[in-house]
Amino acid sequence: MNEAVKERYDADFWQSRLENLVEHYRPFSVSGRNAEYIPALGKIDSSQLGICVIGSDQTMIKSGDWDVPFTLQSISKVISFTAACLTRGISYVLDRVDVEPTGDAFNSIIRLEMHKPGKPFNPMINAGALTIASILPGETAREKTDSLYSTIEKMIGKRPVINEEVFQSEWQTAHRNRALAHYLKETGFLEADVEQTLEVYLKQCAMEGSTEDIALIGMILSNDGYHPFRGEQVIPKDVAKLTKALMLTCGMYNASGKFAAFVGIPAKSGVSGGIMCAVPASLKREQPFQTGCGIGIYGPAIDECGNSVTGGMLLKHMAQEWDLSIF
């Protein structure tokens, strides 16, 4: 992608500001801690903080540990939802997963039992993401992940690498996800085998990316699915809008409401410390991001909700200073 993006050096001002912000917020990583249920994540240097911002005008600025690869974890839920909509159509997908936020934990099973017939409330919680994984096209886990990788390739020009250590680690301890999947199997909201679905879901969680990769995906979403560097509509406009709405209402775990209130950007986080943002165009904003941008952030120390501590602080600051809020 580096080739595709002309790094416009008239962006020097913004670049320099970004570097200041990254160094300012990096030390706050001490107030969070790495996700520990995955041993491979626990070992990572918590003080890492990186960011990449890609404007639809082909501007790109980046700072800190922007090029460290990390596993996408829940950020992949946005991609698999998009892939499902692309391949199955929105209405097929929404017959199987709703798009309503909940105040429940991401791995909660309660609502499936309380609300008949147990349709997952949205694709950003595990129950919904498992259903989405199960309806990706293909008869095997391989075919399903392939259809996911193709969607990613359309956006970032390459297929993702799977972190096998993380995948194996999650595979062996996925009791809660297996519980959810079996529950969904019973209520009819899983269209593939439980183990097959889990393989797809955990592989997507273990896909690696850098802040540049997710910034690019975020930028495409911000641009209603149109890839300006390629000059191609890679995601239909309605799917892109739907995806951004989901990110805003459900993307930041149980802090989604507060994130919408105080940052105001469609975003999706993962427990590995990544955050992918899609900032739509805005009249109010100055150049170079007036026509919208994608932001990728990586800071592995997370808070009790599962969101990157330093990433969240950095975003809140930028949203106010750079007028990024959609509200």
Give Cα separations from 169 to 61, 174, 270, 272, 277 (angstroms).
Answer: 34, 9, 16, 14, 28
Per the annotation, the verdict on 271 as an active-site residue is: yes
102 binds its own copies (CB under 8 A): yes
Query: How many residues at the interface with its own copies, by CB under 8 A?
Result: 56
In this structure, what token pair is assigned to residue 41? 């994540």
Cβ distance to its own copies smaller for residue 141 or 324: 324
Q: Catalytic one among 25, 253, 269, 316?
A: 253
Cβ distance to its own copies smaller for residue 22 or 85: 85
Looking up tokens 């839920």 gives 77
Q: Specify the stretch interacting with its own copies by CB under 8 A; choose among 5-13, 60-68, 178-186, 210-218.
A: 178-186
110 binds its own copies (CB under 8 A): yes
Cβ distance to its own copies smaller for residue 64 or 123: 123
Cβ distance to its own copies smaller for residue 24 or 111: 111
CB of 66 to its own copies, least distance (A): 26
Q: Of 265-294, which residues contact its own copies (CB under 8 A)? A: 266, 280-284, 290-291
Per the annotation, the verdict on 99 as an active-site residue is: no
CB–CB of 305/252 below 8 Å? yes
Query: Is residue 20 part of an annotated ligand binding site?
Result: no
Per the annotation, the verdict on 253 as an active-site residue is: yes
Cβ distance to its own copies smaller for residue 213 or 224: 224
Instruction: Tell which one of 58, 150, 233, 325 touches its own copies (CB under 8 A).
Output: 325
Q: Of 204-263, which residues contact its own copies (CB under 8 A)? A: 240-242, 244-246, 248-250, 254-258, 260-262
Active-site residue set: 74, 77, 201, 253, 271
Q: Which residues are annotated as a binding site?
A: 74, 126, 170, 177, 201, 253, 271
Q: Footprint of its own copies on this chain (CB under 8 A)?
A: 98-104, 108-111, 113-115, 121-122, 175-176, 178-183, 185-186, 194, 240-242, 244-246, 248-250, 254-258, 260-262, 264, 266, 280-284, 290-291, 325-327
